[in-house]
Structure 1
Amino acid sequence: MPKVNMKQGKRWTSSHRLLKLKNKNVFLRTNRVVEKVLFHQNFEAYGIQYLHLGKSYRVKASRGIILSAGVIGTPKILLLSGIGPKTHLDKLNIPTKVNLPVGDNLQDHITTGLDLILLNQTLGIGIEQMLSPFSVFEYFLYGTGPWTTGGCEVLAFVNTDSTDVNRDTQPDLQFMVMPLGINEDIGVHLRHLMGISDYTWNNYFSYLNQMKAMTILPILLHPKSRGTVRLRDANVNSLPIIDPGYLTEQEDIEVLLKGINLIKKLINSRSMEKLGAKLNTNIFPGCENFKFDSKAYWECYVRHLTITSYHPVGTCKMGHEQDVSAVVNYDFQVKGTNNLYVIDASVMPTITSGNVNGAVLMLAEMASDIIRSKDFFSRKKCSVIEIFVSKDFC
């Protein structure tokens, strides 16, 4: 699936489609914070309790509750509701309703290599082009121009495992090519989005302010490292504790090092030479004791400059009923409960070989069919509209 879906020069997502449908049975309520799921007899979900403007309210459901709060939000709601590791809930004085490994198995695509390539010319999509009145004119009148960029212009997938006889079957690296670096705005905004500290900026990136940079990010597609999501306390307004566990497995570092080696080969290609491409030889802060371009230096670099690609999955893992590491079954239902479902990236047992958005949309379509079929068999009847929209069980 493409990194960004574009329509008439603008980013287009599934939310745009939902808002245009205007279904009479869909009610969107904002500025609400879910406190917990409500249960009968500690297993039958019948509603939720939420906060709005400092007051608690309850909403009941006759057929089921679906949690789609994401890889961080969904486990937080389940834990606050008493569904999760008993040892963790006991520490917070939250009564355990179902002992499940909620919040475990956190996986993410991580990357490195910001502003690693320097050029002697602009690629025509820098801050000057963005601020040009002509760019504004192009965007609003024709839906064209530099404002329509998705940020990432090219994607590539590579299997770096030389021992894999079927090297085309599953890539372990994805490359994202971006025609500018985070030094483009001289440290005003972009670096803050990436979490670059003042110290790192002043001692590494600021030296590039008078130079043009671009970035080819090697993204680790199948990390072996795992993280966790836990509650800080029993207060719904407290932020959860996220331990991503990045680079806890050496194998993840080795794959990223292969990615950097491939970037160095690309820099030496004829096309890149025409752009005056060269490697950024500034020493990254904290790695001064290692010889530049040695394996030890690049490992230090990776450990200091690895960031998320914002593709977390796995904190409410799907599996069969006997799988003790699973939180939901193959019907998307939280184990040990009834009428409680999870439908988001948190159910994915392992991460995809690329962006997760398309996989999540597919899971949502599957889950909707499963839940509607279960509802049909429980009621033994269909509404008039269901007869026309579903041929599988009506």
Structure 2
Amino acid sequence: MAEQTNNSQVFDYIVVGAGTAGCLLANRLSADPANRVLLIEAGGRDNYHWIHIPVGYLYCIDNPRTDWRFRTEADPGLNGRSLIFPRGKTLGGCSSINGMLYMRGQARDYDGWAELTGDDAWRWDNCLPDFMRHEDHYRLDRGGDADAAHRDYHGHGGEWRIEKQRLKWQVLDDFATAAVEAGIPRTRDFNRGDNEGVDYFEVNQRSGWRWNTSKAFLRGVEKRSNLTLWHSTQVLGLEFEKSETGEPRCCGVKVQRAGEVAMARAAREVILSAGAIGSPQLLQLSGVGPAELLAEHDIPVVAALPGVGENLQDHLQIRSIYQVKGANTLNTMASSLMGKARIGLEYALRRSGPMSMAPSQLCAFTRSSEAYEHPNLEYHVQPLSLEAFGQPLHDFPAITASVCNLNPTSRGTVRIKSRDPRQAPAISPNYLSTPEDRQVAADSLRVTRRIAGQPAFAKYQPEEVKPGVQYQSDEDLVRLAGDIGTTIFHPVGTARMGRADDPMAVVDSQLRVRGIQGLRVVDASIMPTITSGNTNSPTLMIAEKAAGWILGRAS
């Protein structure tokens, strides 16, 4: 049990945020019974039924029960539009509301991190064991179809379950064939370091249920006597004291819990795992960040780190919609009460069908032009269409082919608006703010048209509803990208790691905050550049690697 001292509780490690990274960290750090670990989550328990039914993401995003409900500032690159910016607010964090898509990115992403930090620990070959350590891949189940190469790249018996999807759509099969006709090879595995190709996504599910990090890393472990969980607890700020060297040391956190303000002290470390929005926000509120921003809000400077809240990166998806003929799509399946009943019955009996669907089913990685030596586009293809997230399905059969620029050069910011930790920060992604990103946007829409125009898809007589074939020039397509582009929910980079001589680096290569003892950041905010794919599983890898460093230093 935690020790009581001066109306505060003392732990060895305090982890702020029970999301993707925080759940794994709590599991690993508390595995040694000598470590007293506190895990703090602002949201409640993950006992909302829609968290666990895969299609329930529709009811979790922008829901105050499960989502922080952030919004971006009006974005010039999106023609002045503001977007919802979902972040999980429940046990499991974003893994409780995300797309459940298992994707690591490309080997070059991690080799690039090693160059930027000067630390070979971040090279792909040295990250691969950290991915595999917590994996439970279905192809390695007894009787699975794994080949020798698959066994070299995937793990089995870990906490993080990966399965194939429990559905099939002919219209998506034919779109995949059209992609092959357009020059994109088929692949069996997007996660071996080169993800070029087309296939169905693999998903973080178990037997048709969402598999979030709360289930994976806290279930059962939560009962450890040396692990304390405070959910529904708002962290108000970090607490500091002067160390023997004169540097500030993070000694704990101030929280509001059950209507009362309390302190929790950390004998060894405080670890921020509040995500790419929450971690920089909490640092800034606590006096760690750009000096000018802190002065603007009369916050005393603990450490002037200009990179806190800078370097925001995200994947902007551009949604092309094609009306089709003679195809079975979700638009038609769910158009009647009888159709919806059939969908519900299939899930109840078999845990399959549309209710087991991740938000996207078919994936493809390719290049926007021959100028790129590596895939710089990712497709999320769906057998459905709608005007915008949360709106009804269209009343005609259609598919959506969303494409995103994997390596955007645009950079945004996260900055507090006040000293109130309950007020959302200003989130400014600055999408499409560079010429390169605008060119990739225009070219990516042309790649989509090239795929849809292949013979394998011609039988559906596809008609481009969005953006519309009348738009052909770069100028037209960039403007349309701004009109229809939306976040794909992958914010990273706002507390990035870097070398000692990098003035914008917030943490070193072992994720320790510059100039402050006893404080690390372990989440997607530490990525210096965004990974070439979905960001949830790379965040787990980051947490796995950090846990090894923390436990090694403590032993």
Specify which of 153, 167, 173 is matched with residue 361 of structure 2: 153
Pairwise CA distance, 1:129 = 7.7
Match of 2:483 in 1: 304
Q: State the Cα deviation string for residues 31-90 of structure 1 (Å, max 9, x = none).
A: 211111111126111110012344311111111101100000000110011000001100
Match of 1:265 in 2: 450
Question: Take 1:21 and 1:69, find their aligned partners in 2: how far apart are those partners?
Answer: 23
Q: State the Cα deviation string for residues 274-325 of structure 1 (Å, max 9, x = none).
A: 12212127769xxxxxx63333221210122211110110000001222111
Question: Take 1:301 and 1:150, find their aligned partners in 2: how far apart are those partners?
Answer: 27
% identical aligned pairs: 31
Letter in 1 for 2:328: L
Count the aligned residue pairs: 346
Specify which of 191, 194, 216 is matched with residue 401 of structure 2: 216
Specify which of 422, 433, 439 is matched with residue 248 of structure 1: 433
Question: Take 1:211 and 1:142, find their aligned partners in 2: how far apart are those partners?
Answer: 28
* Greater Rg by CA: 1
Does residue 15 in structure 1 map to residue 231 in structure 2? Answer: no
Letter in 2 for 1:5: N
Pairwise CA distance, 1:180 = 0.5
Aligned to 1:62, the other structure's residue is in SS state strand
Report the CA distance shift for 1:18/1:209 in structure 2 as closer, same or farther (over 3 A). Answer: closer
Report the CA distance shift for 1:162/1:75 in structure 2 as closer, same or farther (over 3 A). Answer: same
Match of 2:157 in 1: none
Does residue 86 in structure 1 map to residue 287 in structure 2? Answer: no
Pairwise CA distance, 1:269 = 1.2
Pairwise CA distance, 1:191 = 3.2
Letter in 2 for 1:162: E
Maintained 8 Å contact 2:310/2:413: yes
Report the CA distance shift for 1:112/1:80 in structure 2 as closer, same or farther (over 3 A). Answer: same
Q: State the Cα deviation string for residues 366-389 of structure 1 (Å, max 9, x = none).
A: 10010111112xxxxxxxxxxxxx
Aligned to 1:280, the other structure's residue is in SS state strand
Pairwise CA distance, 1:257 = 1.2
Aligned to 1:325, the other structure's residue is in SS state coil
Match of 2:533 in 1: 354
Question: Take 2:238 and 2:532, find their aligned partners in 1: how far apart are those partners?
Answer: 33
Question: Take 1:18 and 1:145, find their aligned partners in 2: how far apart are those partners?
Answer: 27
Match of 1:385 in 2: none
Report the CA distance shift for 1:282/1:366 in structure 2 as closer, same or farther (over 3 A). Answer: closer
Letter in 2 for 1:110: L
Maintained 8 Å contact 2:507/2:513: yes
Does residue 191 in structure 1 map to residue 391 in structure 2? Answer: yes
Aligned to 2:267, the other structure's residue is in SS state coil
Maintained 8 Å contact 1:267/1:278: no
Maintained 8 Å contact 1:129/1:135: no
Letter in 2 for 1:7: R
Q: Which runs of 5+ in 2 are unaligned?
A: 1-102, 104-200
Specify which of 153, 171, 174 is matched with residue 375 of structure 2: 171
Maintained 8 Å contact 1:232/1:239: yes
Q: State the Cα deviation string for residues 141-169 of structure 1 (Å, max 9, x = none).
A: 221222111121111111234234xx3xx
Report the CA distance shift for 1:209/1:44 in structure 2 as closer, same or farther (over 3 A). Answer: closer
Letter in 1 for 2:235: V
Report the CA distance shift for 1:298/1:160 in structure 2 as closer, same or farther (over 3 A). Answer: closer
Aligned to 1:254, the other structure's residue is in SS state helix
Maintained 8 Å contact 1:43/1:338: yes
TM-score, with structure 2 as normaliser: 0.59
Does residue 225 in structure 1 map to residue 410 in structure 2? Answer: yes
Letter in 1 for 2:367: N
Match of 2:142 in 1: none
Report the CA distance shift for 1:110/1:237 in structure 2 as closer, same or farther (over 3 A). Answer: same
Report the CA distance shift for 1:97/1:353 in structure 2 as closer, same or farther (over 3 A). Answer: same
Aligned to 2:498, the other structure's residue is in SS state coil
Aligned to 1:120, the other structure's residue is in SS state coil
Question: Take 2:440 and 2:519, find their aligned partners in 1: how far apart are those partners?
Answer: 39
Question: Take 1:67 and 1:338, find their aligned partners in 2: how far apart are those partners?
Answer: 13
Pairwise CA distance, 1:19 = 2.8
TM-score, with structure 1 as normaliser: 0.83
Match of 1:59 in 2: 264
Question: Take 1:340 and 1:326, find their aligned partners in 2: how far apart are those partners?
Answer: 15
Does residue 31 in structure 1 map to residue 236 in structure 2? Answer: no
Aligned to 1:337, the other structure's residue is in SS state coil
Question: Take 1:27 and 1:277, find their aligned partners in 2: how far apart are those partners?
Answer: 55
Aligned to 1:191, the other structure's residue is in SS state coil
Maintained 8 Å contact 1:180/1:215: yes
Report the CA distance shift for 1:341/1:258 in structure 2 as closer, same or farther (over 3 A). Answer: same
Question: Take 2:466 and 2:411, find their aligned partners in 1: how far apart are those partners?
Answer: 32
Maintained 8 Å contact 1:45/1:340: yes
Q: Which runs of 5+ in 1 are unaligned?
A: 193-207, 285-290, 377-394
Aligned to 1:113, the other structure's residue is in SS state strand
What is the RMSD of the two structures over their aligned residues, measured on CA atoms?
2.2
Report which stretch shifted further, 92-101 or 33-42: 33-42
Letter in 1 for 2:379: F
Maintained 8 Å contact 1:314/1:351: yes
Question: Take 2:536 and 2:238, find their aligned partners in 1: how far apart are those partners?
Answer: 26
Report which stretch shifted further, 334-343 or 50-59: 50-59
Maintained 8 Å contact 2:315/2:489: yes
Match of 1:140 in 2: 348
Question: Take 2:284 and 2:453, find their aligned partners in 1: how far apart are those partners?
Answer: 51
Specify which of 279, 299, 303 is matched with residue 98 of structure 1: 303
Letter in 2 for 1:59: A
Report the CA distance shift for 1:369/1:346 in structure 2 as closer, same or farther (over 3 A). Answer: same
Q: State the Cα deviation string for residues 93-126 of structure 1 (Å, max 9, x = none).
A: 0001101120000000111125x21112443433
Specify which of 116, 119, 124 is matched with residue 324 of structure 2: 119
Match of 1:5 in 2: 204
